Structure 1
């Protein structure tokens, strides 16, 4: 589609072409067309702008100069001044500006009832004359404190004294006295005073209270006792001849058991293994081995019975 169209005898160009000529953004040109600030037609979803109308709008925009808004004379807030019962009341914010007090302090005075006040909604209104009178009273008290702090005499309000002349005023203000005291105090006088003061008082009685204290002491290990104990232990563990006796006795018992279990070898035909014919050699040897083992166990039992059991003797009456 071309960038120029003719509608009702007027020439229109596309918004893209108008933006290139005027320097505006294409979206801004479309926004002007939608709001009706310029002469425009919509054809097939595209905006076509009248160039004469767009140029006229641009000239008016360039000629417009923004003017800074001027701040006029602001009137006093009408809510800061209210009349109750014929008396003027001002808000706490306005009272703090007039007196120089903090707004919280003005609200504290209103809540405590120190000055006449009214609460409207969540705001406090105090009497104008009352807050000013309170400030004057506090200022007088502050001036009196300052006068006394510097040492000036305070005149009574009931009988005002006549104004002194210049020489009298100078004599009252400047009075010189002679001071011959020591620059450093003497210690002897202080000690004497302390002794006199102590003599005048009653004697102080001291009481003693025993406090039990348990002392934990570690037992001392004697070196001689330790060495003696070690020697006794060595004597008990190693007795000469006893260890050898146990070893010899065990070897002897084992030898006896082996010999008795295998049988006594004979020199000639008296040996138990040689008894019997040739056909019964195997059975006789087995029986001989069994008999010899039985005898060996029986003999060992007889020997151990002597050492392990006590002999019981039964007698008939």
Structure 2
């Protein structure tokens, strides 16, 4: 877009081109255009300004001399009115001075609690009267708060004079005395006189003398414990079975073991020697022997083994005999 534009017979240039010609920043030129201080037009979001208008603003700005601002208090004519030589302020002004609400100030004026005058539809109150009312209410509020927290305040009407100021005598104001006594009290020990053995004492003195060194000791006798329990003996039942062992199971001695081993060796040797001709342990059995001879040898061996078993049973096992009690 061109930097120059003709609008309504006037030539306008863009804000960027104007900043290059006059030395102002482009943002500042836009600010002047928005405030209407210079002749400008906005086209497509861009500002186009008149160069003679911008140059005239720059010349006037150079001749402008800034002045220091002055704090001038505006005078509200309606806030201060004089009646009968006394200054009256409006209710709004009194509310600002005292911190009260304007409606409360109007209520005081209507009730006659303070000196006031009504002019039209506005109330004017006496300045000194409203300040005195505020001091009174503040003092009452402070007394109530002090009493609520337990702070006692003594109403002192007039301050007391200092002691040195109230003294009007002719003598010295202060009297000094010397004190040379001991700082700590001295304990005096009284020695007791020994009482002779042959001295006669009445009953009261004797009781006091004896009770002075008597230490009372309280003894409590332990009560005797009397047992009322009766020992009961369970009766013996006559119909019970009593088992009486004749032989014990313990054969822990070396001699008994050695005798048992010797007996076994002797029995086995004797059996082999006597049954050699017909023993099944022999090896002279013919293969062609009859079945009857074989059965005889078997029965003989079984009988020998049974006898040996009974013999060892009597030696190694104990006999248990049961007897009835009747």
Q: Confirm or deny a common fold (TM above 0.5).
A: no
Bigger-Rg structure (1/2):
2
Question: Whose relative contact order is higher, 1 or 2, with alpha carbons under 8 Å and at least 6 apart?
Answer: 2
Give the alignment's TM-score, normalised by structure 2: 0.42
Give the alignment's TM-score, normalised by structure 1: 0.43
